[in-house]
Amino acid sequence: MEKTFINPGSIAPPLSNYSHAVRVVIGDTALINVAGQVPLDPNGNLVGENDITKQTQFVFEQISTILKAAGGSLSDVVKANIYVTDMSQYAKVAEVRNRYFAVNPPGTTFVEVSKLVKEGFMVEIEVQAAVQL
């Protein structure tokens, strides 16, 4: 088993002691586990203040960048967990999600939480992907 820790320089560094993603190769498959991504630009500034649509779109673009760095893409995603601070915003988040996963969408869980790690975050998304080598 081979593990690679993925932290693209074009993305804000992790908020704590973790990697943005870990790629694990088992046989002829690479599993990519992407940690929860939040709307922070590379300088650590909040993106899309009070706008869950902009935050969600930014987070999916960030996930795409991480997956590419790990040798995958959004089409390889098999599971997504989406955490929001206000479930009444579900339709806006789902609309963005559906643009990124228009064909063969992954299993997805939406969860409302009371708070995310920093003030202003309205959404956090983590994904798992499987890439045939």
Cα distance between residue 109 and residue 95, in whole Å: 15
What is the predicted pLDDT for the residue at 3? 97
Are 99 and 90 within 8 A, CB to CB? no
What is the predicted pLDDT for the residue at 20? 98
Q: Write the CB contacts of 6 (distance below 8 Å, at least 6 apart in sequence).
A: 19, 20, 21, 22, 23, 32, 66, 69, 70
> For residue 37, what are the domain limits?
2-132
pLDDT in single tens digits along all 133 residues of the chain: 999 999 999 999 998 999 999 999 999 999 999 999 999 999 999 999 999 999 999 999 999 999 999 999 999 999 999 999 999 999 999 999 999 999 999 999 999 999 999 999 999 999 999 999 9
CATH number at residue 113: 3.30.1330.40
User: What are the strands of the beta sheet with 29-37, ordered from one edge?
Assistant: 2-6, 21-26, 29-37, 123-132, 77-84, 107-112
Question: For the chain, what is the domain count?
Answer: 1
What is the predicted pLDDT for the residue at 76? 99
Strands (E), the chain: 2-6, 21-26, 29-37, 77-84, 107-112, 123-132
